[in-house]
């Protein structure tokens, strides 16, 4: 029940946080689950080549949907899942989510057709949505107030490290097995997470807040329409009726969502929250940061495996410099903000990401790995410095009784950024790759032509099956075409990050917490 618009707590909070030993155990359990849900979204990028050249033989557009179906379900349901966790209990929501994720992962591994695979991936994403917004309140619950900033920084680092870990584990799996095992391996990891959370995580007070099913439907529909326009734009044409209708529907649904939420006593998300600089700056900054990070994940597997010829295991390990810098930079973001100001640290971090992307765009078939690693160091450092402070800006813009909702908005920003990153980078890459191919490959007719113009792995396979004296020349030309197309896509993303840095600089105060009113 509610009185005067305030949520009533149905369980008494613990007055004293547990000891350091308990905090460490809970941190390990929560971080494993966070790494799992982010890793499952990122690992698939290494399997793009395998997916496009093996049963059920998805088209390039279907490959993007296979990647994004998990991220879309994950991202769209995060905010309502956070509100649900506030209402029914965050520990129970997290355990249920891990079970659903395990079922969806097994279904993905066994899926015989593309539609079945899409549904199973979406089920796994729905499970992940229940896990993530409950994880941060459970973690901060066991820390005293003066250490919760460090807990948020640890959680934030794991969200990025989880993506890198997904690449590393995905590389190991794909080195010795096919893409189906990549999905199946998530199930036992989810079960381990369930056991750890069940034994170690505390129960957090519930808050009797009404749910908002209309808001959920409108938000999910708006995000789906937006991503449909992005993913289908390259295939159908950016000015085609279908794509323009998708973008128009996304805008209209978002307007309706805002109008509906403003009229409700207990909205899913009160749009007025974003009038304060905290929620607005944090949401936009994190979305753009994760667009950049997942663009790098989308590039990494194809570049290192197809262009550079690395085996899958080394391609996965190739993302480790980013993980190291996320781990090193994230815990230091708060101290640097105390010394130099929040705005300076966040803007410097975002600009570092933009510079890293621009350097990435210069990488070609002959670029040595150490120079490629420098780009990852810049992106990882920039993300590690900016993301914890952006997360804190969101979390401090909402009252403690809505911590799960705040975590849901924070996590929603990450996953929608990841989904848009995969979709935008993949669409820009595919659109530029085909026209850049050498004529004997570019002009291939029929379904085979569509396949080679949409995948560097398929294009290289065609060149070597074709044979002849031009094989070496065509092989190199295909690798250059991919590098040039990827460079174009990365420069577009770098511009988006730079624009976000300008907005953040204008909204954030120089020092102190951003406005949450």
Give, in degrees to the nearest 5, the angle at Cα 451 between 450 and 456.
Answer: 120
The pLDDT of residue 366 is: 93
Percent above pLDDT 70 for the chain: 90
Reported confidence tier of residue 408, pLDDT bands at 50, 70, 90: low
| pTM check: above 0.85 | no
Closest to 389 in 3D by CA, of 246, 255, 510: 510
Q: Give per-residue pLDDT as tens, 83-134.
A: 777 777 888 889 999 999 999 999 999 999 999 999 999 999 999 989 988 8
Q: Please tell me which residue, 212 or 95, carries the higher pLDDT value.
A: 95
Q: Which tokens belong to 352?
A: 């570092």
- What's the first-to-final CA gap in the chain, in angstroms? 25
Which of 70-74, 226-230, 334-338 holds the top average pLDDT?
334-338
* CA neighbor of 267 nearest in space, from 1, 76, 86, 80: 80
- How confident is the model over 413-462, as pLDDT tens digits? 887 888 788 888 988 998 899 899 999 888 888 777 888 888 888 899 88
Cα 248 from Cα 242, distance rounded (Å): 10
Strands (E), 8-99: none
């Amino acid at each position: 029940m509610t009185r005067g618009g305030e949520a009533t707590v149905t369980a008494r909070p613990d007055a004293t946080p547990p000891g350091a030993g308990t905090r460490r155990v809970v941190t390990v359990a929560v971080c494993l689950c966070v790494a799992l849900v982010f890793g499952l979204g990122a690992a698939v990028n290494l399997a793009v080549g395998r997916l496009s050249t093996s049963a059920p033989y998805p088209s390039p557009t279907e490959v993007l949907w296979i990647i994004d179906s998990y991220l879309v379900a994950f991202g769209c349901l995060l905010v309502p899942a956070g509100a649900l966790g506030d209402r029914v209990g965050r520990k129970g929501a997290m355990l249920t989510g891990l079970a659903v994720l395990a079922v969806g992962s097994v279904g993905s591994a066994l899926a015989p057709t593309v539609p079945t695979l899409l549904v199973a991936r979406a089920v796994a994403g729905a499970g992940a949505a229940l896990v993530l917004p409950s994880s941060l309140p459970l973690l901060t619950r066991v820390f005293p107030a003066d250490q919760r900033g460090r807990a948020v920084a640890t959680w934030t680092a794991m969200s990025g490290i989880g993506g890198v870990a997904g690449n590393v584990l995905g590389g190991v799996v794909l080195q010795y097995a096919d893409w189906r095992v990549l999905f199946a391996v998530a199930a036992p990891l989810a079960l381990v997470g369930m056991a750890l959370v069940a034994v170690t995580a505390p129960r957090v007070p519930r808050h009797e807040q009404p749910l908002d099913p209309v808001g959920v439907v409108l938000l999910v529909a708006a995000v789906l329409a937006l991503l449909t326009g992005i993913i289908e734009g390259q295939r159908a044409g950016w000015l085609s009726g279908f794509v323009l209708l998708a973008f128009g529907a996304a805008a209209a649904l978002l307007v309706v969502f805002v109008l509906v939420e403003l009229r409700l006593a207990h909205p899913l998300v009160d749009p007025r929250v974003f009038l304060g600089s905290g929620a607005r700056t944090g949401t936009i900054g994190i979305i753009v940061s994760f667009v950049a990070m997942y663009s790098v994940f989308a590039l990494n597997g194809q570049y290192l495996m197809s262009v550079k010829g690395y085996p899958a295991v080394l391609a996965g390990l190739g993302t480790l410099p980013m993980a190291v810098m996320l781990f090193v930079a994230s815990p230091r973001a708060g101290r640097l903000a105390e010394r130099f100001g929040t705005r300076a640290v966040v803007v410097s971090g975002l600009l570092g990401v933009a510079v890293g992307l621009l350097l990435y765009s210069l990488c070609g078939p002959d670029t040595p790995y150490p120079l490629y690693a420098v780009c990852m160091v810049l992106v990882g450092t920039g993300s590690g410095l900016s993301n914890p402070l952006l997360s804190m800006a969101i979390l401090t813009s909402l009252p403690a009784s809505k911590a799960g909702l705040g975590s849901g908005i924070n996590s929603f920003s990450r996953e929608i950024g990841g989904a848009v990153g995969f979709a935008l980078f993949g669409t820009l890459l595919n659109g530029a790759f085909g026209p850049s191919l050498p004529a004997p490959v570019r002009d291939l007719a029929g379904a085979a032509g569509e396949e080679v113009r949409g995948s560097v792995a398929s294009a290289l396979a065609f060149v070597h099956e074709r044979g002849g004296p031009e094989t070496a020349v065509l092989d190199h030309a295909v690798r250059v075409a991919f590098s040039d197309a990827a460079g174009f896509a990365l420069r577009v993303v770098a511009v988006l990050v730079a624009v976000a840095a300008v907005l953040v600089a204008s909204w954030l105060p120089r020092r102190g917490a951003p406005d949450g009113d």
